[in-house]
Amino acid sequence: MKVLGKHISDNAERFIKEFTSSLNKPFHFVELPESAPQWGRIGNNPGEYLIGIKTKMPDDAFEFTLCHEVFHAYQLAVGFPNVIDESENLPDIKEFCERLRSNILDLSADDAVRSYGLYDTFVMKRRFTQIMELAASEFAIINNQYAKDLLSIDLLLDMHNLDENKKQPILDILSRVRSDVFALYSEFHVIITENGYDSPKGCFNIMGYIINRIGLWNHCSIEYCNKNIRSYQRFKEYCTRNPMTI
Ligand SMILES: [Zn+2]
């Protein structure tokens, strides 16, 4: 099978067939320009999913990213939640909402892709390099509350994807020089483990907990089961209910 002119492996083909079979509308692959900020992106248009990807990267990274974005289309189709920026142009809030959504949804996307024997040593390596450089500088630039909040949720994904022997030294430095961030990350890590990130309801509970803990209900909402949840009270009402009855 070829996608955007590039050959993909049998494993990637199996993955794409499996996870596009339950999509609720057509999908198309499109090439992202080199100037795009992400390696891959999912567009949820009214009549189709547009799965965008850059083509100038190594083959293993290309098919990993492709499958990762296909999984995001699947997540949209089966009702995983979304975090919505309600701040009307506060750049920090916009960034935080995007990162919260993508970090939580990426946990199961990356697991799913790896379970098909697909690995990526290119995009992941860049992300790991960033976190390792941050740790090597003793998190010097993490010097305000916003940066701390953002790091606490970025670590959820970075630590999830890093090997145990690489993860522990980073956490040791963090706990020594930024104990407040370490405590917040550890708290969120427990919430992720308890709720499970591989179901729509688990992700909804995790996102709501984090928005509440950081105090962002005035600026963020969660889209879940065709509802827009905009307050802690509404979140508490919904997080205990069965999604089928919402
Ligand atoms: Zn993603």
Q: Mind listing the pLDDT tens digit for each residue in 26-69?
A: 999 999 999 998 899 999 999 999 999 999 999 999 999 999 99
Ligand 1 centre to CA of 127 (Å) is 13
Ligand 1 centre to CA of 26 (Å) is 20
Distances (CA, A) of 17 to 10, 11, 21, 46: 10, 10, 6, 22
Ligand 1 centre to CA of 160 (Å) is 14
Q: Mind listing the pLDDT tens digit for each residue in 126-169?
A: 888 999 999 999 999 999 999 999 999 999 999 999 988 999 99
Ligand 1 centre to CA of 39 (Å) is 9
Tell whether pTM > 0.85.
Answer: yes
Backbone angles phi, psi at 43, to 5 degrees: -105, 125
* DSSP secondary structure letter of residue 243: G
Q: What is the DSSP string of 22-46?
A: T-SS-EEEEEPPTT-SSSEEEEEET
Q: Mind listing the pLDDT tens digit for each residue in 85-125?
A: 999 889 999 999 999 999 999 999 999 999 999 988 887 78
Ligand 1 centre to CA of 99 (Å) is 10
Ligand 1 centre to CA of 66 (Å) is 10
d(CA 38, CA 53): 8
Ligand 1 centre to CA of 72 (Å) is 7
Instruction: Tell me: pLDDT of 245 over 80.
Output: no
Ligand 1 centre to CA of 96 (Å) is 15
Ligand 1 centre to CA of 67 (Å) is 10
Ligand 1 centre to CA of 62 (Å) is 13
Q: Mind listing the pLDDT tens digit for each residue in 2-17?
A: 999 999 999 999 999 9
Structure-block tokens of residue 140:
């010097």
